[in-house]
Structure 1
Amino acid sequence: MAILVTGGAGYIGSHMVWSLLDAGEDVVVVDRLSTGFRWAVAPAARFYLGDVGDEAVLKQIFAENDIEAIIHFAGSVVVPDSVADPLGYYANNTGNTRVLLSAAVKAGIDKFIFSSTAAIYGTPDAPLPVAETAPLRPENPYGQSKLMSEIMLRDTARAHDFRYVALRYFNVAGADLLGRTGQSTVRSTHLMKVACEAALGKRRSVEVFGTDYATADGTGVRDYIHVSDLVLAHLNSLDYLRRGGATLTANCGYGRGYSVLEVLRAVQKVSDTKITIEYRPRREGDAAFVVADATLARSVLGWTPRHDDLKTIVATTLDWERHLFQDDATDIDGLRRRLAASSF
């Protein structure tokens, strides 16, 4: 039987596909390639170009493959974009998830792993690790769209022979330790990638939003989790559901945080490069301190992170950025873009 990975050409999805194949699983991928890359999909996976909201595409996949479980990554993830285009986010994240859930139930697929987010918590009440029991107060359409999807999952599980694990991610970073895939999104807003791009000269500077938070150095603190550990949590979730585990919602983070300036210092140290920092006012909705209480994932799923180390996260991100830079340097279109942007 096969595992269907939606969004398997994207950042986290491509890591998931490689890890499933490493574990001996049969893998099917569906991705519309709006932000993902066909080259990022491991060659051994069967690939379908299409949208998870397209019932005809799903019908074909389920007819041609014996799908045991679905790991659902497909969706839009940029918070400012969700504010500018809320209906687009509700359509892609919530509406398409509804279509996928309906198709899964009709096909008799009873195991589902969902890519959720800490954004559904909004701003925590206090600078303490956030548990799954914390109030759910998303502050943007991205977080709202994920919360709506969690509600649909809950109601589907109540009405059908259907079990799921919803994993609420904190700040995902890093790249595959074997160098097979990484964060490749153009104009990414992720701090770790942005900082590594700046260290390699791909960006002129890094913007820091807010220096007056109630934290040690005045900048926001976040829980950064290596993408390989996040993927491991999905593998543990799959094993958990296969063993008959009940529906579960769990946080994925290390339980400790690093400030924006700590991350920038780590990138500068590992890269041996000075980064130009531009300080900006706070952004609306940015919390001072967001760190996970991941006790549930550790105790119920048996999740034991292996890369809880800021240096490792930075080093793998830098390695991947160097790889992308080298590929771009040998690509004629990339060369033309750089020449067009240069002045002589």
Structure 2
Amino acid sequence: MLKPQYLFIAIVVCLLITIAEAAEQSLAAATVVLYNKAAPDSVQLARFYAHQRGIAHDHLVGFTCSTEEEISREEYDTTIANPLREIFKTRHWWTLHETPDQEESVTASSIHFVAVIKGIPLKIRPTADYPGDVPRPGPMGNRNEASVDSELTVLAFMSHQISGPTPNPYFQNFRAIGDFENATMLLVCRLDAPAAATVRRMIVDAIAAEKSGLWGRAYVDGAHNTSGGMEVGDQWLSEITGQLHKVGIPVVYDETPALFPEGYPMTDCALYYGWYAATVAGPFTQPDFRFLPGAVAVHIHSFSANTLRDPNANWVGPLVAKGAAASLGNVYEPYLQLTSHLDIFNDRLLH
């Protein structure tokens, strides 16, 4: 089921605030951690993350699945989705209702958050003639490739409709997921990076930033692109700049078509938003560049998270390898309108 193919490489529920112990316990109780038994690093990282976040052992769920980043729809169904649905049922994380045609329907869920650990496949390649799927008109209507993470968000829907977008009830909403009545859509993030040591560092840095705050500068790199509807990307970045100014965060905003150059002194970088290049470039290619601990960094591109295993390919992998604690990106082409709206993302990050 194709949705905006964003992939959260984040373990940050909320930066710039201190999370009370009671809130941490509530979040931990509503979280499951998914790992791959066939990948030793995945097992160790899952245990480390659960320990750091106070997540109960019975909320760790292991699969024996492919260690490749890209898998088939059949592999996703048989080794990840179907086994996970059975676990949600047997552990009574779902409230189930039988429909008149004797099919199961999920009416409520005690689990709201899913942490996907490095080692779980990243994306699902397109397929044809999937039983129950009806391709729809439009450029996205007949597309069914997806990130594993986005498919997990709709695990409770029990749907065979995998082509086309699915409405997100949380979009542009200020309510916490726990405030939604009978919320069943999951919020999924991924703890992944080119190296296992980087994932551990992301976990530690994010928790530290939650407790003490994230202090530093923001760098926003616009593209001044007005062709073919692309201006919306610059609108997001311009809005972000205004949001940051309002709360007193120092911002460097570049509106020229070129990216920040390699030699640009991007010091004390706590936030980075930019576009539009296919591969990491500019200051991030310098050997001595590092983000501040806990930093959030995002670059808009159709395939910014096409792989997370190469510290020099695309954007998400290189950004976290250079010290960012959180990023997001696309594993397949989402088109700009279905890309994560960074102005909304930044607004929620600040509040």
Whose RCO is larger (CA < 8 A, sep 6+)?
A: 2
TM-score, scaled to structure 2: 0.33
Q: Which one has the bigger helix percentage?
A: 1
